């Protein structure tokens, strides 16, 4: 990150440790720093699903401590229109969408970026993402964060070189433990605050109840791959491929006592299909078809080999990418992969460089 005196940067302040330390680092580097708190959800505080009120208070306290001005803006309408509607539509199709990817694309690095540059006359925006940006021969490239356990480039593959030119990731060069140490060093009360994840920062425990407010439940059968009914599901959109927990399937007479996993969702028949063992053949895929592809620097020539991941924090896998048409590409894995999930993202890498990604449309089963 090049040091530029007196350049104005707007930091997306979430009230968390990462954005707070990012703002502090930029102040130390002599940038003209201001914060902006985005409210992306109009919650019913009584339900307790979202914490924007508490997060705003934390952001205000941090900005007061760092002596920076905090702007506030409400993107709730835009979030509903461009992120949450898609989230519901994909769930109804039986897919498992990733709202973090879409929120980054539509809200943080579109609405927030444009507002900061155009309305607040900023030179840059900054966020607390664990990723890095490197300028090579006049172009800007997205790199993995130094902390491999926290690297968030997976969620940022929809960016392009022109956007990267205006973005700073101050903590991308740090380990998470160092970020928390810095928060303690500068005496921020939020230094031990837990990380926020998921849609509207709702954890997995609350997601089922939350979805139930927007999608009508329709109970159905849980069946084995041979067609035997062994249980009931609460609504097919609550489950994802590869899921083991929450199926309510105990020991079954005549079956080995091995955990059951979701291997398919039949939307038309409203049945959840399961098989035993995480490495069962029904859960394995030799590849997938991807759509909505974005190449960060538009420098790809098919076919080619690279590494990819189909979920956050997964170890990179070797794969071959083939061109199908302008809408779709085919990805073939070097080895069969577990639980390829339509709706999730596949993200591509050349060494530490993130070159792009797309949405998983369908999987190519082992069978």
Q: Which residue has the tokens 């302040």?
A: 13
Q: Which of 103, 306, 319, 354 is catalytic?
A: 103
Rounded CA-CA distance 116/129 in Å is 18
Q: Which residue has the tokens 């070797």?
A: 318
- Residue 103: active-site member: yes
Q: Determine contact, residues 11/125, Cβ cutoff 8 Å.
A: yes
Query: Which of 283, 284, 347 lies closest to 321 in space, CA to CA?
Result: 347
Rounded CA-CA distance 356/297 in Å is 8
Rounded CA-CA distance 24/159 in Å is 25
Rounded CA-CA distance 214/218 in Å is 13
- Residue 50: active-site member: no
How far apart, in Å, do the first and last CA atoms of the chain sit?
48
SS3 11: strand
Residue numbers belonging to the annotated binding site for ATP: 12-19, 38, 128
Q: Which of 200, 306, 319, 354 is catalytic?
A: 200
Residue numbers belonging to the annotated binding site: 12-19, 38, 128
Q: What are the tokens at 115?
A: 């507002």
Rounded CA-CA distance 61/189 in Å is 9
Catalytic residues: 103, 200
């Amino acid at each position: 990150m090049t040091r530029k005196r007196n350049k104005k940067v707007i930091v997306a302040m979430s009230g968390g440790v990462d954005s707070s330390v990012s703002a502090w680092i930029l102040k130390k580097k002599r940038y003209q720093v201001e914060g902006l708190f985005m409210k992306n959800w109009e919650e019913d505080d009584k339900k307790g699903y979202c914490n924007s009120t508490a997060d705003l208070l934390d952001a205000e306290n941090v900005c007061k401590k760092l002596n920076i001005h905090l702007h506030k803006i409400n993107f709730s309408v835009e979030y509903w229109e461009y992120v949450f509607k898609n989230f519901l539509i994909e769930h109804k199709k039986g897919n498992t969408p990733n709202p973090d990817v879409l929120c980054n694309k539509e809200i943080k690095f579109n609405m927030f970026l444009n507002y900061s540059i155009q309305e607040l006359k900023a030179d840059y925006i900054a966020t607390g993402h664990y990723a890095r940006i490197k300028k090579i021969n006049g172009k800007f490239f997205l790199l993995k964060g130094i902390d491999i356990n926290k690297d968030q480039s997976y969620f940022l593959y929809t960016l392009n070189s022109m956007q990267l030119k205006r973005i700073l990731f101050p903590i991308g060069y740090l380990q998470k433990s160092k970020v928390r140490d810095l928060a303690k060093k500068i005496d921020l009360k939020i230094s031990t605050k837990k990380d926020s994840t998921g849609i509207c920062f709702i954890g997995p425990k609350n997601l089922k109840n939350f979805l139930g407010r927007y999608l009508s439940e329709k109970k159905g059968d849980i069946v084995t791959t041979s067609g035997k009914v062994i249980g009931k599901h609460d609504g097919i959109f609550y489950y994802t491929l590869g899921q083991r927990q929450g199926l309510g399937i105990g020991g079954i007479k005549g079956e080995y006592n091995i955990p059951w996993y979701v291997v398919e969702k039949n939307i038309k028949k409203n049945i959840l299909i399961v098989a035993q063992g995480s490495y069962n053949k029904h859960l394995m895929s030799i590849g997938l078809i991807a759509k909505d592809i974005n190449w960060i620097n538009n420098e790809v020539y098919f076919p080619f080999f690279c590494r990819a991941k189909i979920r956050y924090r997964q170890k990179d896998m070797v794969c071959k990418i083939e061109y199908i048409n302008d809408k779709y590409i085919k990805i073939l894995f070097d080895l069969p992969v577990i639980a390829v999930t339509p709706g999730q993202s596949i993200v591509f890498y050349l060494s530490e460089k993130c070159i792009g990604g797309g949405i998983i449309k369908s999987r190519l089963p082992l069978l």
